[in-house]
Amino acid sequence: MRVLWLFLIVGSMAQKDMDRNIFFFPKRSVNDYVLLTPTMTGSLNKFTVCLRSYAQHGHSALFIVGNPESKIHNMFVVYQSSLTYSQPYFDSSIYINNSQVCITAKADVLQSIHRCVTWDSDTGVLQHWVNGKVSPLAVLQRGFSIDLQDGISLGQMRRNGATGWNFTASFQGEISDVHMWNSVLSPETIGKVLLNNINGNVISWRSLSYTIKGDVIVQPKLY
């Protein structure tokens, strides 16, 4: 019985080289997201997260540490807060421990956007890189540390004061090239990530353990 149970758990969780693929979120819905299993659990006091996104809507959450029931809400979130097709600037909101900073960046919104965020608890300093260019530094939640025990989710963020995802932040579009490290990468290394030449040691897109919840479709990468 125990062997069968283990088999079922393993069977429902794919581990894949996603190099030529993307996750496609066809509609905005709190039922649709992807749960990632990091290679390590426990708490991190510094990290780098990189990913590529191609959003259909301005307001949407890309990446969150935790799941719909995690005790600490919005432990770490990458959120794209506005995106207008008439101008090349957009805002990212980064949340740590449910506190937020807003960072303006420039990118062509009709192409996929590559982002990296680094954070160091000792100083609270946060770097935000878009297509290889760094935005002005920000500071957030010095002394906090993030906990990976509930995993990582793509395409959603939490509702305030309740369990479950916040519908206004549900993602529609494409997410790919998700990597995470337990360190602050150097600018040179972030350049290599942009060229797709290096894999994360906490999350690696080239050996990804994930579970699709709801309607998210794995598709070939077209760019």
Ligand X SMILES: *[C@@H]1O[C@H](CO)[C@@H](O)[C@H](O)[C@H]1NC(C)=O
| Binding footprint of ligand X on the chain (CB under 6 A) | 97, 141, 143-144, 159-160, 166, 168-169
Least CB distance to ligand X at residue 222 (A): 29
Is 18 or 62 the residue whose CB approaches ligand X more closely?
62
Nearest residue to ligand X, scored by beta-carbon proximity: 160
Q: What are phi and psi of 169, to 5 degrees?
A: -105, 0
CA distance 155 to 180: 16
Is 97 or 189 the residue whose CB approaches ligand X more closely?
97
CA distance 34 to 137: 29
Alpha helices in 104-200, H assignment, sequence order: 187-194
Is 109 or 169 the residue whose CB approaches ligand X more closely?
169
Question: How many Cβ atoms are within 10 Å of 85's Cβ, its own excluded?
Answer: 8
Least CB distance to ligand X at residue 90 (A): 14
Residue whose tokens read 């959603």: 156
Is 19 or 91 the residue whose CB approaches ligand X more closely?
91
Tokens read off for 41: 């659990």
Is 56 or 166 the residue whose CB approaches ligand X more closely?
166
Find the Cα–Cα–Cα–Cα dihedral 13, 14, 18, 22, rounded to 10°. -60
**DSSP H or E run through 7:** helix 2-12
Least CB distance to ligand X at residue 30 (A): 11
Least CB distance to ligand X at residue 205 (A): 26
Q: Please, are residues 105 and 89 in contact by the beta-carbon 8 Å criterion?
A: yes
Is 159 or 206 the residue whose CB approaches ligand X more closely?
159
CA distance 199 to 179: 6
Q: How many CA atoms within 13 Å lie on the side-chain side of 190?
A: 23
Least CB distance to ligand X at residue 6 (A): 36
CA distance 55 to 111: 9
Least CB distance to ligand X at residue 62 (A): 13
